[in-house]
Structure formats: structure tokens, C-alpha cells
Structure 1
């Protein structure tokens, strides 16, 4: 009787450890949104020592879709400069804009994606890393 109790306890501990390990590995998986028309969306910002902010965004869309791309440079959360572009396949927009020191900056890239019937199918956005200058 005692051997059965020990075996049952060891079995339960083994099950708990296997379950815990699967939860840890599942938690380590990065979750990324899946889109219908967009295959990738990027947003970037670099600021030189003279205050030249180089801003850029890029969207790759699948065949049969078009995209209106908007790239916004934001200072302390408010848009101070916008670039736009439209097209199919790979579309990019951006440029250089001089910024003032003492603020935080981020670039937000937004892709308005349309199907072949010109219906909006998705509108994802992506922020660059915040840069303090």
C-alpha cells in the first residue's frame, strides 16, 4: 500500500512539473498579430547630434492589395511632421526633419490596406523606439 502511495505522489509531481514546463515554454513564445494584406510593417527613427531626425516607415503588402502609408514624427506625443506614400508590393515614406532638444520623439507608421474592391481591410500601425534628444 505504501509503495502505491509513493508511486502516485511521484507520478503527480511528474505531471505537475511537465505541465509547468509547458506553460513556461508557451509563455516564452512571442505573439505577433497576423494581418490579411500586410506581410510586414516597420518604423524607424534616428536623431543626429545636430538634431536631424531621420524618419522612415515601410509596408510590404501581399498581391492584390494596395496601401496608403502614413509616417508621422511625434514630439512629446503630438505630430509635428507627416510623410505619405501609396502603392502596391513594398511602399515606403519618410524623410529628415530638424527637431529641438529637450523632448521625446517617436515615429508612427500607419498602413491603410485596401483589397481589389477598394475596401479597407486593415489599418495597422507601428511605433519606432522612443528617442530622447
Structure 2
């Protein structure tokens, strides 16, 4: 009888440790990636009832870095329109493009970040939420 109790206790401790490890790893995936030059990166997409897709991408870069920003509107996974901008501090790009109904759309913003020696240090991207129109 005592062996069953010890086995049950060990089994429960094992389950608790596995569950705790899963919670820690799940929490870790929710922490944003840290970048060297980029302090924030965003993409947004809104589509009006008439099909006007307003696309915006924005990057904030730390002092001493520059960014080449590319904002792509994608229809069913393929790029249909691109906007670009470059600069320091806060850089944004985008515009409005009329789209056809019956498709899924997403905006991808990519930031090519360069240090003061003009070396590429990172190239993160960020997708907007997918919008079905």
C-alpha cells in the first residue's frame, strides 16, 4: 500500500513539473524579440466598404541607426503593391490601394536597419492581421 502512495506522489510531482515547464515556455513565446536598432515595428491594414485598402507600416529606430522601410500589400500571399521610405528616428510608409473582393489581404512591413558604419544589423518584419474582403 505504501509503494502505491509513493508512486502516486512521484507521478503527481512529475505532472506538476511538466505542466509548470509548459507554462514557462508558453509565457516566453509571448515576450517580444529584442532588436539592436529597432525599438518598435508595426503594420496595419483597413479596407473600406468600397475596397480602399489603407496600408501603413512604421518603424522606430534608436539613435545612431537608419532604416529602409518596405511596406507590402499582399493578396492571397502575393505582393500587389509596395511602398518604401528611409530615415532615422520614426519612419513610416504606406498609402491606399483599391482591392478586389473575395480575397485575403495582409500588410507586411520590413525594416532593413543599418548602423553608423552603414552595415546591415537586422532585418525584422511584421505582418498586420489578415483581412478578408
TM-score (norm 1): 0.86
Question: In the alignment, which residue of structure 2 is the partner of 1:118?
Answer: 118
Q: Which has the larger radius of gyration?
A: 1
Shift of 1:38: 1.1
Q: Which runs of 5+ in 2 are unaligned?
A: none
C-alpha distance in structure 2 between counterparts of 1:88 and 1:73, whole Å = 23
Counterparts of residues 1-133 of structure 1 (less than 5 Å): 5=3, 8-9=6-7, 11-31=9-29, 32-133=32-133
Q: TM-score, normalised by structure 2?
A: 0.86
CA displacement at 1:77 relative to structure 2? 2.1
* 1:18-74 residue CA offsets vs partner (Å, 9 max, x unmatched): 312322311321423322111211111010100010100111112211101010111
Aligned pair count?
A: 131
Shift of 1:91: 1.1
Segments of 4+ moved more than 6 angstroms: none
